């Protein structure tokens, strides 16, 4: 593979840093009235790349960035059939956390939170990670038991998580109705202080800018129409803009992952469901932590601008549609008002949907496949955005070294045949 930069440069990290934004540059641009220069430029499609990544969301962009930054592999193309960050990476509710249920999941998502912690500095781009704490409410004994279980697994791995009672919950979120007489009283919550929200577009743009700076080609409006495989190995991809020869193809898509897998002859145990979300008009800041209620199928956080961002469970049927439904808004409003009756006058501004690729155990499918050179980073269900950095880092290492890193080994496609499932359903934000 083509190493674009010297090992010395990579070790020092010098060449991997894109230019910094500064207060001085901001002032200069403000005074001059000049438009900001483009942060990356369209490049011609090369006939050959060392690595072709399908999917220009956070997973694809992060994998491209870490291939170039950590391994010096920059003859890389990221292909997206639409625009960068236009799929799940721009449609999620931007919640970050590592309070999972299995040791494998906790270890994996904790690495992602660590990378997110330093991402603004790494990328030279403010991703606005706001660690405001994350509360998963328990409304019955069974949920409380799962929260205690999660807290213990978390603590064993050094993750800050604990079960707290209604009085403490009320202190953290005074507008929650913690009274006993409601339909689903709040009995306790899993409190995870390192959880929070990030600006998802900034994460996508930051990775795109940094990857392009290192020589990665980002091709929007470039749809993969076929994958050429012969003798059990990948030879290239066909696109609406022409063919590309490559020994390595990485499927980083969400929503379309099974269709791309089929092109390479790799079947994936995935079903695709829409997940809807909505945002309100801005209101005065009153909600600090992220609040999740599995029983009421709702999660909510307040943005720095004051809007409330809501999400729910995936729709109850498989589909590739990203149109919103009235059923969703009605259900959401009813459930939100049970949690916070004071919101009854707040108006919804917008709703939208993304596509979630659900696996049988709610864990992703990552690593090499039986087709040599065809890698997968798919099956993210409702957890994809928070895993972007660690997935990119691990997939880059997997491709560059030819070995599966320990942190993603539990998520191999072969686990379904072997019966080694990594059950993360109990860590889902809401019941799906």
Q: Out of 69, 95, 198, 202, name the contact with ligand PYC by CB under 6 A.
A: 95
Residue 382 binding ligand PYC, by CB under 6 A: yes
Q: Tell me the closest approach of the beta carbon of residue 172 to ligand PYC, in angstroms.
A: 17
Residue with Cβ nearer ligand PYC (256 or 299): 299
Q: Residue 337 is inside which H or E element, if any?
A: helix 326-339
Report DSSP state, residue 181.
T
Q: Out of 72, 311, 373, 388, name the contact with ligand PYC by CB under 6 A.
A: 311
Instruction: Give the position of tokens 């704490």.
Output: 133
Cα–Cα distance measured from residue 106 to residue 374, given in angstroms and rounded to the nearest whole number:
27
Question: Which residues, other chains included, contact 308 with Cβ-Cβ below 8 Å and sequence gap of 6+?
Answer: 279, 280, 283, 287, 300, 301, 302, 343, 346
Cβ(257)–Cβ(87) under 8 Å?
no
Residue with Cβ nearer ligand PYC (60 or 354): 354
Q: Out of 215, 383, 388, 394, name the contact with ligand PYC by CB under 6 A.
A: 383
Residue 429 binding ligand PYC, by CB under 6 A: yes
Cα–Cα distance measured from residue 199 to residue 58, given in angstroms and rounded to the nearest whole number:
12
The DSSP-derived string for 409-425 is GGG-TTHHHHT-----G
Cβ(169)–Cβ(186) under 8 Å?
yes
Q: Out of 49, 299, 328, 411, name the contact with ligand PYC by CB under 6 A.
A: 299
Residue with Cβ nearer ligand PYC (274 or 311): 311
Select the span of 40-48, 91-99, 240-248, 337-345 touching ligand PYC (CB under 6 A). 91-99
Cα–Cα distance measured from residue 321 to residue 161, given in angstroms and rounded to the nearest whole number:
36
Tell me which residue of 59, 136, 141 sits closest to 98, measured CA to CA: 136
How many residues touch ligand PYC (CB under 6 A)? Answer: 8
Site for ligand PYC in 206-245 (CB under 6 A): none
Residue with Cβ nearer ligand PYC (54 or 300): 300
Cα–Cα distance measured from residue 214 to residue 416, given in angstroms and rounded to the nearest whole number:
37
Residue 93 binding ligand PYC, by CB under 6 A: yes
Select the span of 92-100, 102-110, 254-262, 344-352 touching ligand PYC (CB under 6 A). 92-100
Residue with Cβ nearer ligand PYC (53 or 339): 339
Site for ligand PYC in 97-136 (CB under 6 A): 97
Cα–Cα distance measured from residue 430 to residue 427, given in angstroms and rounded to the nearest whole number:
8
CA angle 379, 204, 332 (to 5 degrees): 60
Residues that bind ligand PYC (CB under 6 A): 93, 95, 97, 299, 311, 382-383, 429
């Amino acid at each position: 593979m083509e190493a674009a930069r010297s090992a010395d440069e990579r070790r020092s990290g010098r060449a991997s840093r894109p230019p910094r934004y500064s207060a001085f540059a901001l002032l200069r641009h403000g005074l001059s009235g000049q438009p900001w220069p483009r942060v990356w430029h369209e490049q011609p499609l090369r006939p050959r790349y060392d690595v072709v990544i399908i999917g220009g969301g956070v997973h694809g962009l992060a994998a491209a960035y870490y291939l170039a930054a950590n391994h010096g592999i920059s003859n890389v193309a990221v292909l997206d059939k639409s625009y960068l960050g236009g799929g799940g990476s721009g449609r999620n509710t931007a919640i970050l956390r590592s309070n999972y249920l299995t040791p494998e999941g906790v270890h994996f998502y904790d690495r992602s939170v660590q990378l997110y912690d330093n991402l603004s500095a790494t990328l030279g781009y403010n991703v606005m990670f706001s660690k405001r704490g994350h509360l998963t409410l328990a409304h019955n004994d069974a949920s409380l038991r799962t929260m205690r279980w999660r807290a213990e697994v978390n603590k064993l791995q050094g993750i800050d998580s604990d079960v707290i009672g209604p009085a403490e919950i009320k202190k953290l979120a005074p507008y929650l109705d913690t009274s006993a007489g409601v339909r689903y009283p709040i009995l306790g919550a899993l409190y995870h202080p390192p959880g929070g929200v990030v600006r998802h577009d900034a994460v996508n743009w930051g990775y795109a800018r940094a990857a392009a700076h290192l020589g990665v080609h980002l091709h929007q409006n470039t749809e993969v129409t076929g994958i050429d495989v012969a003798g059990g190995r990948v030879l290239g991809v066909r696109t609406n803009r022409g063919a590309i020869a490559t020994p390595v193809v990485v499927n980083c898509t969400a929503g379309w992952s099974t269709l791309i897998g089929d092109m390479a002859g790799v079947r994936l145990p995935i079903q695709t469901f829409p997940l809807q979300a909505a945002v309100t008009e801005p209101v005065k800041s009153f909600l600090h932590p992220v609040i999740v209620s599995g029983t009421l199928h709702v999660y909510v956080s307040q943005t720095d601008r004051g809007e409330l961002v809501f999400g729910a469970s995936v729709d109850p049927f498989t589909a590739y549609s990203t149109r919103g439904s009235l059923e969703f808004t009605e259900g959401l409003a009813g459930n939100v008002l049970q949690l916070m009756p004071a919101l009854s006058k707040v108006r919804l501004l917008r709703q939208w949907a993304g596509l979630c690729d659900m696996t049988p155990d709610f864990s992703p499918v990552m690593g090499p496949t039986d087709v040599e050179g065809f890698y997968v980073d798919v099956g993210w269900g409702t957890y994809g955005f928070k895993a972007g950095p660690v997935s990119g880092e691990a997939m880059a290492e997997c491709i560059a070294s030819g070995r599966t890193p320990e942190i993603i080994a539990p998520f191999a496609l072969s686990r379904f045949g072997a019966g080694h499932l990594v059950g993360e359903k109990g860590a889902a934000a809401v019941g799906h």
